[in-house]
Structure 1
């Protein structure tokens, strides 16, 4: 561990081993008139590599900073209609002025040839045409190929490995972070270029005062007023398949809107397009992806490590609408209204065989289980946002409402060799949820200062009911005796109210901004739960008013409150090279848990200091180095404080000991990062290291009984979870070969204390991953996209109990190959190959999937006709093998069969 840190720091500090130098000056023509937009580059003599560059401003002034080990460097100046200049200068700080001689720039052809990647200040612009292929249709298709940009499977856009904080179209934030719909449905032909806004501060009044290390994406369209969009209509067979996507869009100077309807049963998760992927800035207020508190669950069939389209048996309808308009003449005030609705039904099926190792208390056993699920999602969300984002003030109020009517079903067949049992159980969960949030933030200039007030209020009501029939399926010793049948019902209601209010005042001087703040955070959660058993003899099964017999050990009526007044000081600094922001809060944490019926009364009153700091240094035009560190404390939630048992799943019982204190977790973390992005030679890379130490006062101690069920308990004992990891990624675009390639590597190690069946052991896990991405459009008749990933994991468990000592490893390989051939104009043949291989011990599983497609394009109407054959090999199951500290398991999961689809694809105008 120490060696790794030392090596990393050596690499980091070697970057600064040569002093940084700055050359500045002014460039004029023969008459002394300033020359704007001239390029100034620094190069080492005899080497065709640019160390740093700058562009002159309107006054002809330039300033370029570089680092070199050479005693002299070449300074080159180029400008339109001027003779280029080259001058060798010493490697030192100096001022060098130039007077350029006029020289007509001969234009051999009347042809405008734009650069693929250009940079000006903190903005890097990518010409989309330089990266697309004939098979690409949408913005997302091309974005995946741009160097320095990555698009995750959930739609999240990463720049240099970090998530973006904003997604604009023509400078407007219509989607408020839920940009998946536009990214997946905006035709590439409507886009002029993609801009990356580095170090983007979205709140205009805070620009040059409160820095940001995150980047934003701005999609610049070809026309200032654009009516566009994308549509698909597809049908198929085995069984009947459908896939409909209709997404018209309008982008104007005053208003923008997107309407979206998508439905399919082909395994595509279109409902995830409503997720918030970019959360902006804390000064904008608080936004969340509202979700249910899923405490109660049926037993779930496993899912494979495959693309979702290979196994998802769905029937989804998703509709959404997003609207933005300016409501004042100055175009400072915006009104945004967003709404979406999802109706989704999913089927899932799996078989699992688990061999449990023998322990001192328990003999070895084998549990097999078949699970069949139906999951039903029915939810609606609406949002209304008022925003003023101007240099002289900021205001934002976001009101959102969500309603869920979800339901899950499960049928499970379980056998156990020790219990010599063969059981069948039917399970059902009903889970309606109501959720409301309102977030307000305003920043008002006051003389030379800024006053910021933030307010956030949230209320959520979760009702959940889990039913298991017959009750004997549970096989939980000590409960349901003497009754062996009937219906077991777990009821749970959770009411959560949260209010966060704060005010701060910011003042700036000489690049520094100080922001003292006071605030009060309050959260109250009420948990009511009970488990009851409908008897088979009192009354009849079909009685419309059955008698429920409550089991007192499973009753909870807990109120959990957290009140935290705090005071903090924010410190921010920014100049041409440095960017620093830090916060130094002191929190007075007051936590109380009360359940009078169970004689539970716990509290914690503790003052904590939780600083966080980030510093970034930019040097030699293309380099950035940063460090960050933070300390935070949390004291658990209501799910760590209740003491009555709760059947959260038919195969698991959870509870906290009434005598255990409230959890107290102290987390410390630190990290460092170096990144390089050079748009002049299309090279991007980053190196990262992070370490964290989580100290906890409680440790989980699960107990497994003979039937294979687990009861979760906790022991009061200080313990640590240590994590350290490092990663690197390098990507380069080769314009001569029209090829983009990248390599990545990550290594993460975690070490933690654990218990199993009352015995302590230490678990150490190491995971390594190697990745490679490649795409090529060099040939006019073919394009290739290829990704592969190799992973290795190793787990070591050590204990004074010999049965718990073991060491196991697992390796995996997966790749995706997409090849598109263009034998004749407007005809495309596509081939896709997904391969997922896993190995553990002596078990090896290879899972390959192949798709074939033919597409004809009606060029005049811009309509595509596609015939696609998916899963040609008709692979129906996915197999995998896992080794854990206490068990070995084999899993077989149902997949989608071979299917054929015919689809018509088109653009809206």
Structure 2
């Protein structure tokens, strides 16, 4: 009986568990790094989406959720801002659920306004729909980029976004052109482009994404699907007066396996094809590889170019053959080739007068020049890139040959001269970079760069001049300056990157070696054609060797919510320099140990806005240019030598900035402040006369300080269908120089302001307007009474009218006004007219263009620098008319 009671009690207990089902579940929500996700939403839903229960996680990522009586078919939905939503089926009798969420880009709201532009922000990417900003009158990508709020295109084609220069330019994610992206912006028809994407915090190396604090900004253009299916291009032929031509043929294709832009162009209407080949980030590249490439020692002594758009002053006969091809061999492996050949013949004719203000008495000279240059450039580059999630390889081979010749006929202070200059630089290099991931998740990096350069130069000046300095006071026929600096450089390192949850550590060690050999001579050709040394002190046979061993620690911190990023870089280096020239009894050695720390802080004040602060201490040693003691005649007016040790430069820079963006309303704003102080152990000293400027570097300390404050703003006005922009910059520089044995403290202040408007006045009328104002103030001991002031205003306006459905009319006007204290006021108004008809049936555009309607043939410009004032009058092309037909395929 007792046994029966026990069995009945056990049955009752079991049935009781069935009668009272599970009433609560609990669990944790963590991210992919196993960190708690607070305030995550936990929702219990039925299959048809009805909510049965709701809860949130606490600060430790824990949650509890009460269950309803009926749980069949229910599922848990876990979501949190910045993470992918996850769904988990409810399992009977399971009381604990532990979930890991994966990161997801945050989509900001998109403005939805009928027939008006909209921007879409997804994480670090901001997308512009090209068609929202383009008009019928626009022809290529670059025409539309100028109209996009937040994006600025400089006169040389350099692109910046909200005050920051772009570091990379991609076409559907592929880097076809490196930083020579003018090739794309001037060639790709707007009809081929779907979107323009700005990528902040760009990291092109896949394996480093999320493992480094990149501050780079990149631009990516996406090609329309239909444009990827076929070859596209143009062929144009133009002819005009007086004896003008303009021809162009290009072909391009962009698909997953192949991307290419190839073209041939030539003209004599003032368009310089070399502008296509500008490397916009060249200084950053040279700083990264740490290669102080030797520059040209000699020059033609030309007065530079007038402050006008190039097509207004250039006399040229130019041609360019340019091929750029990228092949995706297989997944994440690319082969890229970039080859171009440029040739040109440029003419320049001008008169100028120069006044140099000195406490010991002013010096002045006048001259006129007729200058013909024949530049050529052959560039060949091949790149192999493997960019995978856990490994990376990039090898770039480059070769450049740039022969250029100058012929200069001039009269200086009533003395007729003729110069011939020949320069034949050759530059070949290979850069190898390999990274791989260890089983631990850490990364190692092997890098090697080698470079060889030679640049033979020869300058001939006739008849013989400045007999008191050259040829012992005896009349002679001509001067011949020869110089060359063959140079070898290599930089090699290995690096190890350790990754943790919030701190990335990189340690690098390596060495670089530079070897250069300066050989130069200055000879006087006698009237009997014998050649003798022009002076006893004008030979150089200088060997220069620099060896550097370095180590570096780089620390990158990123907070869990990614609002705060801190990067600290601590490079240590030991450098040994040895140089000798037996002819000058020169044999010296220099050893230095440097610590050059840098730090950068970025704080996100909101999803779209951030503050930045940076500080850097940089120690640099000069090069061979600082210490050669044999005189080198740079040109007919300038003689350089040195009597100082290697230049040691110590610079400190601090900067503070704020970037604001509101994509919904298309509003962009940025402001930056910067201070730098430089101490140099040498100073330049010049002896200036009416006929010759002699410079020597002396061993005296020199401090240079500068301050700057700049900002810009850009906004799209929906009601007016217009983009308005403005920017301002103030900077001040303080330094010293020695002229005619007088130490001259020098202070300059530069103020600039710019504003622009790109407006769609009506369906068929567009107006673009830009104004730039600059005010330069200079002051030295020579003009301490008040210094000099230079004011200039530049205004440009373009009015485009869609007269008929396929007929376009464009009128361009450009006004320049210059005022310099003590000089006459200068004012010029240039205007151009273009009429274009689009014949859709034959895919051909017919265009008539007239430049410089007012037929202005001379242009006068004033330049001021330190204590020098130069006034130049340039011969420029007059009115030019061209008829051109362009076939599109």
Distance 1:165 1:835, change over 3 A: same
> 1:568-587 to 2 correspondence within 5 Å?
568-575=552-559, 576-587=562-573
* 1:665 matched residue in structure 2: 649
Task: Report how far residue 797 of structure 1 moved.
Answer: 1.0
Which moves more between the two structures, 803-812 or 492-501?
Answer: 803-812
Task: Report how far residue 579 of structure 1 moved.
Answer: 2.3
Preserved contact between residue 443 and residue 497 of structure 2 (Cα < 8 Å)? yes
Q: 1: distance between equivalents of 2:611 and 2:233?
A: 41
Which moves more between the two structures, 230-239 or 449-458?
Answer: 230-239
* 1:132 matched residue in structure 2: 134
> 1:441-456 to 2 correspondence within 5 Å?
441-448=433-440, 449-456=442-449
Task: Report how far residue 564 of structure 1 moved.
Answer: 0.9
Distance 1:378 1:640, change over 3 A: same
Task: Report how far residue 619 of structure 1 moved.
Answer: 2.5
Secondary structure in structure 2 of the residue aligned to 1:373 = strand
* 1:49 matched residue in structure 2: none
Q: 1: distance between equivalents of 2:533 and 2:683?
A: 33
Deviations 1:327-386 (A, max 9, x none): 23xx121111111101111101110122444643xx545421001111111221111111
Instruction: Pick the aligned partner of 2:582 from 587, 591, 596.
Output: 596
Task: Report how far residue 688 of structure 1 moved.
Answer: 0.5
Secondary structure in structure 2 of the residue aligned to 1:484 = coil
Query: Is residue 426 of structure 2 the alignment partner of residue 423 of structure 1?
Result: no
Instruction: Pick the aligned partner of 2:787 from 807, 812, 815.
Output: 807
Query: Is residue 537 of structure 2 the alignment partner of residue 553 of structure 1?
Result: yes
Secondary structure in structure 1 of the residue aligned to 2:471 = coil
Instruction: Pick the aligned partner of 1:26 from 24, 41, 53.
Output: 41
Secondary structure in structure 1 of the residue aligned to 2:664 = coil
Instruction: Pick the aligned partner of 1:471 from 464, 467, 492.
Output: 464
Secondary structure in structure 2 of the residue aligned to 1:597 = helix
Instruction: Pick the aligned partner of 1:412 from 399, 410, 413.
Output: 410
* 1:865 matched residue in structure 2: 846
* 1:774 matched residue in structure 2: 757
Distance 1:523 1:895, change over 3 A: same
Secondary structure in structure 2 of the residue aligned to 1:132 = coil
Preserved contact between residue 470 and residue 534 of structure 2 (Cα < 8 Å)? no
Q: 1: distance between equivalents of 2:860 and 2:192?
A: 44
Which moves more between the two structures, 388-397 or 349-358?
Answer: 349-358
Preserved contact between residue 554 and residue 569 of structure 2 (Cα < 8 Å)? yes
* 2:264 matched residue in structure 1: 261
Deviations 1:555-588 (A, max 9, x none): 0011122111011101112342122222101111
Distance 1:231 1:469, change over 3 A: same
Q: 2: distance between equivalents of 1:112 and 1:737?
A: 14
Preserved contact between residue 564 and residue 601 of structure 2 (Cα < 8 Å)? yes
Secondary structure in structure 2 of the residue aligned to 1:477 = coil
Query: Is residue 664 of structure 2 the alignment partner of residue 701 of structure 1?
Result: no
Task: Report how far residue 549 of structure 1 moved.
Answer: 4.1
Secondary structure in structure 1 of the residue aligned to 2:762 = coil
Preserved contact between residue 208 and residue 574 of structure 1 (Cα < 8 Å)? no
Preserved contact between residue 804 and residue 886 of structure 1 (Cα < 8 Å)? no
Q: 2: distance between equivalents of 1:34 and 1:283?
A: 59
Task: Report how far residue 413 of structure 1 moved.
Answer: 0.3
Task: Report how far residue 665 of structure 1 moved.
Answer: 0.7
Instruction: Pick the aligned partner of 1:833 from 807, 810, 813.
Output: 813
Preserved contact between residue 196 and residue 217 of structure 1 (Cα < 8 Å)? yes
> 1:214-253 to 2 correspondence within 5 Å?
214-223=216-225, 225-231=228-234, 233-253=236-256
Distance 1:405 1:591, change over 3 A: same
Task: Report how far residue 604 of structure 1 moved.
Answer: 1.8
Q: 1: distance between equivalents of 2:274 and 2:286?
A: 29
Task: Report how far residue 298 of structure 1 moved.
Answer: 1.6
Q: 2: distance between equivalents of 1:425 and 1:23?
A: 81
Preserved contact between residue 355 and residue 869 of structure 2 (Cα < 8 Å)? yes
* Matched residue count: 795
Q: 1: distance between equivalents of 2:114 and 2:669?
A: 31
RMSD: 2.6
Distance 1:831 1:60, change over 3 A: farther
Q: 2: distance between equivalents of 1:295 and 1:466?
A: 10
Task: Report how far residue 891 of structure 1 moved.
Answer: 1.3
Q: TM-score with structure 1 length normalisation? A: 0.84
Preserved contact between residue 285 and residue 441 of structure 1 (Cα < 8 Å)? no
Secondary structure in structure 1 of the residue aligned to 2:694 = strand
Distance 1:392 1:353, change over 3 A: same
Query: Is residue 516 of structure 2 the alignment partner of residue 525 of structure 1?
Result: yes
* 1:299 matched residue in structure 2: 301
Secondary structure in structure 2 of the residue aligned to 1:823 = strand
Preserved contact between residue 363 and residue 688 of structure 2 (Cα < 8 Å)? no
Query: Is residue 81 of structure 2 the alignment partner of residue 63 of structure 1?
Result: yes
Q: 2: distance between equivalents of 1:595 and 1:282?
A: 32
Q: 2: distance between equivalents of 1:176 and 1:326?
A: 16
Deviations 1:458-493 (A, max 9, x none): 000110000001112xx2633223332312100001
Preserved contact between residue 236 and residue 887 of structure 2 (Cα < 8 Å)? no
Preserved contact between residue 166 and residue 278 of structure 1 (Cα < 8 Å)? no
Q: 1: distance between equivalents of 2:666 and 2:202?
A: 21
* 1:615 matched residue in structure 2: 601
Which moves more between the two structures, 812-821 or 111-120?
Answer: 111-120
Deviations 1:834-864 (A, max 9, x none): 1111101142101211001111111344422
Preserved contact between residue 753 and residue 763 of structure 1 (Cα < 8 Å)? yes
Q: 1: distance between equivalents of 2:374 and 2:49?
A: 68
Q: 1: distance between equivalents of 2:317 and 2:38?
A: 63
Secondary structure in structure 1 of the residue aligned to 2:473 = coil
Secondary structure in structure 2 of the residue aligned to 1:879 = strand
Deviations 1:361-417 (A, max 9, x none): xx54542100111111122111111110111100001011111221111111011xx
Query: Is residue 451 of structure 2 the alignment partner of residue 458 of structure 1?
Result: yes
Distance 1:873 1:673, change over 3 A: same
Q: 2: distance between equivalents of 1:870 and 1:609?
A: 56
Preserved contact between residue 117 and residue 133 of structure 2 (Cα < 8 Å)? no
Q: 2: distance between equivalents of 1:144 and 1:445?
A: 42
Task: Report how far residue 297 of structure 1 moved.
Answer: 1.2
Q: 1: distance between equivalents of 2:580 and 2:375?
A: 34
Preserved contact between residue 202 and residue 280 of structure 1 (Cα < 8 Å)? no
Secondary structure in structure 1 of the residue aligned to 2:537 = helix
* 1:377 matched residue in structure 2: 375
Task: Report how far residue 755 of structure 1 moved.
Answer: 1.4
Q: 1: distance between equivalents of 2:114 and 2:871?
A: 61
Structure showing greater radius of gyration is 2
Q: 2: distance between equivalents of 1:609 and 1:292?
A: 25
Task: Report how far residue 156 of structure 1 moved.
Answer: 1.7
Q: 2: distance between equivalents of 1:613 and 1:33?
A: 54
* 2:835 matched residue in structure 1: 854
Provide structure 2 residue ranges, at least 5 long, that are not aligned to the other structure. 1-36, 51-75, 84-111
Preserved contact between residue 247 and residue 265 of structure 2 (Cα < 8 Å)? yes
Task: Report how far residue 715 of structure 1 moved.
Answer: 2.4
Distance 1:274 1:59, change over 3 A: farther
Deviations 1:816-848 (A, max 9, x none): 100011222211111001111110114210121
> 1:134-153 to 2 correspondence within 5 Å?
134-153=136-155
Secondary structure in structure 2 of the residue aligned to 1:268 = coil
* 2:34 matched residue in structure 1: none
Distance 1:664 1:32, change over 3 A: farther
Secondary structure in structure 1 of the residue aligned to 2:711 = strand
Instruction: Pick the aligned partner of 2:477 from 468, 471, 486.
Output: 486
Secondary structure in structure 2 of the residue aligned to 1:185 = coil
Q: 1: distance between equivalents of 2:197 and 2:888?
A: 23
Task: Report how far residue 747 of structure 1 moved.
Answer: 0.3
* 2:804 matched residue in structure 1: 824
Preserved contact between residue 210 and residue 581 of structure 1 (Cα < 8 Å)? no
Task: Report how far residue 285 of structure 1 moved.
Answer: 8.0
Task: Report how far residue 264 of structure 1 moved.
Answer: 0.9
Q: 1: distance between equivalents of 2:650 and 2:516?
A: 22
Secondary structure in structure 1 of the residue aligned to 2:855 = coil
Distance 1:292 1:338, change over 3 A: farther
* 2:694 matched residue in structure 1: 711
Secondary structure in structure 2 of the residue aligned to 1:471 = coil
Q: 2: distance between equivalents of 1:307 and 1:746?
A: 22
* 1:309 matched residue in structure 2: 311
Preserved contact between residue 165 and residue 281 of structure 1 (Cα < 8 Å)? no
